[in-house]
């Protein structure tokens, strides 16, 4: 299924600029193409997938091949400054982010959507997680913003309630945390979708 992405907004361009900087730093170590993969989550993923809201930080998971040394994973983490609607904003890298705090489907990396970077060939391959996997990742914290993001993905037809239920329940089946809470959150989203008639 083809998913429309929003990559020409000021924030999306700032996200790509961040990874272009990281790509330049990684290339100094003569790392083979595709040895480092980056998966964008959080508000930046939400923005790229829906253009419905912004974000002040980048939530990203880096995955490196075994031959990549830890010392080669260092990169420029200074904020990216960008302009939107006459205001100067900064986009920060959140080095405390980890997707493992909530449930994730085992195929989220395989199904992620690849984004283009500046360099060819590149040591860094960049991805944004699918709408379904972004929604599932939000079941862990499940705050007001997380709930609104899941409902927005469904409201904007980026994700159907049936796709969400299937992906979320599959992820919950092998989640190592409190599955009762996760299942309750899944049921809550199902009820809200029915109440709001978003199907």
Nearest alpha-carbon partner for 8 in 121, 109, 116: 116
Average pLDDT over residues 160-185: 93
For residues 144 and 9, give the distance between their C-alpha atoms in angstroms, rounded to a whole number. 25
- Torsion angle of the four alpha carbons 104, 52, 86, 17, in this order, in degrees rounded to the nearest 10: 30
178: tokens are: 């409190």
For residues 24 and 111, give the distance between their C-alpha atoms in angstroms, rounded to a whole number. 26
158: tokens are: 């980026």
For residues 97 and 100, give the distance between their C-alpha atoms in angstroms, rounded to a whole number. 9
The reported pLDDT for the residue numbered 181 is: 94
Polymer length of the chain: 199
- Decide if domain 10-196 falls under CATH 3.30.460: yes
The reported pLDDT for the residue numbered 1 is: 55
pLDDT at 195 over 80: yes
Q: Where are the domains of the chain?
A: 10-196
Nearest alpha-carbon partner for 62 in 46, 78, 79, 75: 75
**12-52 pLDDT, tens per residue?**
999 999 999 999 999 888 899 999 999 999 999 999 999 99
Average pLDDT over residues 162-190: 94
Are the beta carbons of 156 and 196 closer than 8 angstroms? no
Percent of the chain whose predicted confidence (pLDDT) is above 90? 79
pLDDT at 184 over 90: yes
Average pLDDT over residues 153-162: 96
> Do you find a cis peptide bond into 165, omega within 30 degrees of 0?
no
For residues 119 and 117, give the distance between their C-alpha atoms in angstroms, rounded to a whole number. 6
């Amino acid at each position: 299924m083809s998913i429309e992405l929003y990559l020409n907004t000021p924030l999306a361009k700032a996200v790509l600029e961040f990874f272009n900087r990281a790509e330049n730093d990684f290339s100094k170590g003569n790392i083979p193409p595709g040895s480092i993969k980056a998966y964008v989550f959080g508000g930046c993923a939400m923005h790229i997938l829906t253009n419905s809201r912004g974000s002040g930080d980048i939530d990203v998971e880096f995955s490196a091949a075994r031959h990549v040394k830890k010392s080669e994973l260092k990169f420029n983490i200074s904020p990216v400054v960008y302009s939107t609607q006459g205001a100067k904003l900064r986009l920060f890298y959140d080095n405390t982010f980890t997707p493992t705090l909530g449930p994730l489907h085992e195929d989220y990396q395989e199904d992620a959507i690849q984004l283009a970077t500046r360099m060819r060939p590149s040591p860094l391959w960049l991805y944004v997680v699918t709408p379904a996997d972004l929604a599932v990742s939000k079941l862990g914290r499940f705050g007001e913003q997380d709930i609104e993001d899941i409902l927005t993905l469904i409201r904007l037809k980026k994700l159907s309630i049936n796709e969400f239920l299937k992906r979320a329940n599959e992820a919950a089946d092998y989640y190592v945390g409190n599955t009762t809470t996760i299942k309750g959150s899944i049921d809550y989203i199902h009820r809200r979708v029915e109440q709001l008639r978003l199907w």
